Structure 1
Amino acid sequence: MWRPSRVALVLSVACAVGIAGCGGNGDGGGSAPVTVNPSLSKLGPDHGWDQTNVTVDPASLDCNTKAPDPNRGVTPTSVKIGGLVSLTSPAGAAFGDVPAGAKARFARANAQGGVNGRQIDFLDTRDDGSDAARTADQARALVEKDQPFASIVTTTGGNYIDSFCSEVMPFFGWGTNPGFCGNAIGFGITGCQAPTSGSQRSVDTGGALTVANALPAGASKTLALIGLDNDSARQGIITVRQGFETAGFKAVYEKTPIPVSGLTDPTPIVSAVMQADAGKPPAVVFFVAQFGDATKLSGALKAAGYKGLVVSPIYDPRVSGIPELDGTYALLQWQGGFNTDVPGVAQMATDIEKYSSGTALSLTAMAGYWAADMLVTALQKTGKDLTVDSFLKTLNGASYTNYVAGALPETRWPVNHLAPAPCETLAHLTNGKWAAPPLQCGAITKVS
């Protein structure tokens, strides 16, 4: 079977799909069913979404101090931007296309004369190898040696936060680890996806409602949840299930049996799933898995005659020709790169082709691009009198928003330091082509 050489893997964080804020107290708490106000159980546009009982006092956020060196990385003609990314992992590729996506957006800004007269100096990205100890080491090296103004960060863990907090280092990326949550310096392009232990938690209703709308009329709202065998996935699966409950789903299978080292034989899992709903298969099978595991599970479900929806966070144009994945769905937090009828997506595709030629419009390339775009926008809004402190004052000021119509949903600050943006689209791979409806948003609501 053909496998693309650099398809990005969604590793072990169930919240990467944005259905629910992952985390919780880490002791199995918060596993009870969730109920929400029926008025929140509807979808709306990709901005102006509802929030209920989810508030944040900016003064309560961690890292909310003045920068030791507010002029770090800034000259009258340039601003230095660093990078810390899990480019690789023991299983292969991780977020490897993030730097290429970021480079493309920064390059367009520079070609247009820079930001407020400053060229963006994007440094070489540091790779933590998806290793927690190395994440901490590379973060320390970045702040002590590279000394950038701000950084692009997309890693599998949050061990960088101590070093970044001590130097008040603003950072932007795909907020799939706890480092993006509960502090004043981390800005996830779709908000905080992995709240820290014991913090306020919220459920995002958007993804579950999007999946529900894809079911055939009259289909039962039954669900199988399959995850990796680690603590993050186990807690993540709980919060994913809670998100689906807001749309009326019942989980009939909820396990994390996939070895982190990789799935050898999917047969036992698929056999159990096919009988999970009182001897019948559920309407939806949702899994968070590495690329190879996702392919094996999808192929085995097809071979077993499964006719329901197979949903995962796996999207990449390079998987389009893989037979096992044809007919599956990918739940995306922003619009896919295939939808160039959307002006923001078309601009992104043009930039990546021009400035990072040969880079596929993968999830990770898009994550890097939108993180850089958010950073550029914040620089523009801060103005020419740029310091770390003035930059963070802009971002954490009253009702700051980031939004690219039809392409990247609205985030609100500071509330999205604690919660995800409740917005998704459901991409469908059929006959080797991806398609997706417009982005839509549900609501975020606090859960106990």
Structure 2
Amino acid sequence: MRHPGRVALVLSVACAVGVAGCSTSSSGGAGSGAVTVNPALSKLGPDHGWSQTNVTVDPAKLACGSKAPDPNRGITATSIKIGSLATVTSPGGVAFGDFPTGAKIRLDAANAAGGVAGRHLDLTTTRDDGADPGRDADQAKAIVQQDQAFATLVGTTNGSYIDAFCTAEMPFFGWGNNTGFCGNAIGFGITGCQTPKTGDPRAYDTGGALTIANALPAGTARTAALIGLDNDAARQGIITVGQGLQSAGFKIVYNKSSIPVSGLTDATAIVNAVMTADSGKPPAVVFYVAQFGDAVKLSGALKAAGFKGALVSPIYDPRVSTVPELEGTYALLQWQGGFATDIPAVAQMAADFQKYAPGTALSLTSMAGYWSADMLVKALEKTGQNLTVDAFLKTLNTNYTNYVAAAVPETRWPLNHIAPAPCETLAHLTNGKWTAPALQCGAIAKAP
């Protein structure tokens, strides 16, 4: 069933949650083995202070750690130029068009409060990469050479910008959902490094799986089916999700990336396999890494087949709350949803949206833009008046913590250049309304 207007959001949300479903880079290799249950990692805690167990980082081994060739780039006595790179349009429908809007809202709020250390934050016109890796690289060069930005806000589906940004020592902020946010000293994802590059060491997190487990009725067997897109990146994304679920004691009874990238025309074969995957019966949980339209189709088909368990995906958006196929489903979120206005920081965000861009939905991508810009603003505030690119990066990479109480979980730097933040909440769509418990965190550990 088509949902005009709603499908236009075309979040292929899998790529947006750090499970690599839409990244153009394969992330196989190291760290793809099976994970066993570790009782020491089987508890959830608050949205800060989480355990990093055996995961450490050697800052000297991070890429892009040189001095900036132009440390005063984009800075004047009265302004700071901020670049913007995003996948605004895409032939495949995977887009982050409202990421720049969310970012601008936060910068507008900062400017209304006097800017930072007397400097106005000037956001450049967004450069659209069109979801094309080559164009992404070219647009990054333009931000460096033509816009001469001090730092950049990034909401893209791939990480081809990294070479240009590394050469310029360009700090950048975003979701952390592509390889550019991993393994270097200049990329800062609000959820940490979600998709390491091929062959790089991996860390898995226990937070999402434990959050899902807690949503199951008492006594329910922990069994799960994983369904993904038919591409290398999605297959690695399924490995990442599976490792987290295994760490929480789930048995993976179905694990296939069988959804065509061109779209799912008939869900029958997948549904039939899932409904008998656990020794002839369905699993307790189905987690899918899929584009919006495919997720809707799968949810509807599984429900029609009699599935009574938990349907979980990364799909959350207030504009899909009335899609009947999604009623009763869960969305695994890495920060608190925009509906949670009882939380002061979320209420402030909602008020900023209403003031500076009335009518803009509090979608995943617009919120990602807002919180990415928020991280940038706070790091600028901490660096202070004597601002240079090098001073800014020193601030961020010297035991820096980004945390918005109850809204955005803690990340630690430089650690989260190589690992994700192990924090999630599970939003539930019931009677056309999203609700979610408080954010909680598990732990991170080295993947085998």
TM-score normalised by length of structure 2:
0.96
Q: Identify the residue that residue 13 of structure 1 maps to in structure 2.
A: 15
What is aligned with 1:422?
A: 422
Assess if the C-alpha contact under 8 Å between 2:33 and 2:447 holds in 1: no
Instruction: Measure the CA separation in 1 of the matches of 2:392 and 2:12.
Output: 31
Q: How many residues get paired?
A: 444
TM-fit CA distance, 1:360: 0.2
The 2-side partners of 1:406 and 1:17 are apart by 23
Partner of 1:336: 337
Rounded Cα–Cα distance in structure 1 between residues aligned with 2:16 and 2:241: 7
Q: How does 1:261-280 map to 2 (within 5 A)?
A: 261-280=262-281
Amino acid at match of 1:218: G
1:50 Cα deviation after fit = 0.5
Which AA in structure 2 matches 1:7?
A: L
What displacement does 1:58 show?
1.1
* Counterpart contact for 1:40–1:442, Cα < 8 Å: yes
The code of the aligned residue for 1:373 comes to D
- 1:406 CA displacement: 0.3
Distance 2:26 2:163 in 1: 21
Q: Aligned with 2:429: secondary structure?
A: strand
Q: Is the 8 A contact 1:13 1:232 kept in 2?
A: no
CA contact (8 A) 2:99 2:369 kept: yes
Partner of 1:318: 319
Conserved 8 A contact 2:13-2:315: no
Hey, what does 2:400 align to over in structure 1?
A: 400
Supply the AA of the counterpart residue of 1:377. K
| SS in structure 2 at match of 1:424 | strand
How far, CA to CA, are the matches of 1:44 and 1:23 in structure 2? 33
Name the SS of the counterpart of 1:360 in structure 2: coil
1:354 positional shift: 0.9
Q: Distance in 2 between matches of 1:31 and 1:199?
A: 11
- Code of the residue aligned with 1:47 in structure 2: it is H
Cα distance in 2, alignment partners of residues 2 and 446 from structure 1: 41
SS of the residue corresponding to residue 349 of structure 2 reads helix
Q: 1:437 to 1:12 in 2, by over 3 A?
A: closer
Distance across 2 between alignment mates of 1:16 and 1:418: 13
Q: Equivalent residue of 1:52, what SS?
A: coil
Aligned-pair CA distance for 1:206: 0.1
Contact 1:132 1:157 survives alignment (8 Å): yes
Q: Does 1:245 align with 2:259?
A: no
Secondary structure at the counterpart of residue 224 of structure 1: strand
- The one-letter code of the counterpart of 2:406 is G
* Partners of 1:225 and 1:241 within 8 A in 2: yes
Letter in structure 2 aligned against 1:386: L
Task: Report the 3-state secondary structure (helix = DSSP H, G, I; strand = E; otherwise coil) of the residue aligned with 1:287.
Answer: strand
Which amino acid in structure 1 is aligned with residue 434 of structure 2? W
CA 1:402 to 1:80, structure 2 compared with 1: closer, same or farther past 3 Å? same
Task: Sort the Cα spacing of 1:8 and 1:341 in 2 relative to 1 into closer, same or farther, 3 A.
Answer: farther
- Residues 283 and 309 of structure 2 are in contact (CA less than 8 Å); yes or no, is this contact kept in structure 1? yes
**What SS class does the counterpart of residue 52 from structure 2 fall into?**
strand
The residue aligned with 1:49 is: 50
Q: Distance in 2 between matches of 1:213 and 1:219?
A: 10
Matches within 5 A, 1:25-174: 26-27=28-29, 30-174=31-175
- Identify if the C-alpha distance between structure 1 residues 42 and 18 changes in structure 2 by more than 3 Å, giving closer, same or farther: farther
Measure the CA separation in 1 of the matches of 2:405 and 2:209. Answer: 22
Shift of 1:173: 0.2
Residues 1:432 and 2:432 are matched in the alignment = yes
Match of 1:182 in 2: 183
In structure 2, what is the Cα distance between the partners aligned to 1:349 and 1:7?
Answer: 19
> In the alignment, is residue 371 of structure 1 matched against residue 345 of structure 2?
no
- Secondary structure of the corresponding residue to residue 135 of structure 2: helix
**In the TM superposition, what whole-angstrom CA distance separates every residue of 1:359-404 from its partner, at most 9, and x where no partner exists?**
100000000000000000000000011000000000001x210000
Tell whether 2:359 aligns with 1:358.
Answer: yes
What's the secondary structure of 1:151's corresponding residue?
strand
Partner of 1:351, secondary structure, is: helix
Q: Does structure 1 conserve the Cα–Cα contact (< 8 Å) formed by 2:12 and 2:93?
A: no
CA separation of 1:297 and 1:221: change in aligned 2, threshold 3 A:
same
Partner amino acid for 1:334? W
Q: Counterpart amino acid of 1:137?
A: D
Residue pair 1:18, 1:420 contacting (<8 A) in 2 also? no
Matching residue of 2:207: 206
Tell me the SS of whatever aligns to 1:47.
coil
Residue deviations 1:171-217 (CA, integer Å, cap 9, x gap): 00000111000000000001000011222211100000000000011
1:187 is aligned with what amino acid?
A: F
Alpha-carbon contact 2:20-2:236 (below 8 Å) kept: no
Unmatched 5+ residue regions in structure 1? none
CA contact (8 A) 2:86 2:127 kept: yes
1:13 alignment partner, SS class: helix
Alpha-carbon distance between aligned partners in 2 of 1:404 and 1:72, rounded to the nearest angstrom: 29
CA drift of 1:323 comes to 0.4
**Take 2:374 and 2:115, find their aligned partners in 1: how far apart are those partners?**
13
1:196 aligned counterpart, secondary structure:
coil
Segment drifting more, 202-211 vs 10-19: 10-19
Q: Equivalents in 2 of 1:146, 1:18: separation in Å?
A: 30
CA positional deviation for 1:60: 1.1
Written as runs of structure 1 = structure 2, the 5 A alignment for 1:273-312 is 273-312=274-313
1:15-40 deviation per Cα after TM superposition (whole angstroms, max 9, x unaligned):
52699xx999624x544321253111
SS at match of 1:187: strand
Unaligned runs of 5+ residues in structure 2 are none
Secondary structure, in 3 states, of the residue corresponding to 1:411?
strand
> 1:144, CA displacement in angstroms?
1.1
RMSD value, Cα: 1.7
In the TM superposition, residue 13 of structure 1 has moved relative to its aligned partner by: 3.5
1:175–1:85 CA distance, 2 compared to 1 (3 A): same
Q: Which amino acid aligns with 1:211?
A: I
**Distance of aligned partners of 1:417 and 1:30 in 2 relative to their CA distance in 1, 3 Å threshold:** closer
SS of the residue aligned with 1:51?
coil
Amino acid at match of 1:417: H
TM-score by length of 1: 0.96
User: SS of the residue aligned with 2:18?
Assistant: helix
**Residues 167 and 31 of structure 1: CA distance in aligned 2, closer, same or farther (over 3 Å):** closer
- Aligned partner of 1:220: which letter? A
Q: 1:14 to 1:248 in 2, by over 3 A?
A: farther
Per the alignment, in what secondary structure is the counterpart of residue 9 of structure 2?
coil
Going from structure 1 to structure 2, the CA distance change for 1:176 and 1:25 (only over 3 Å counts) comes to: closer
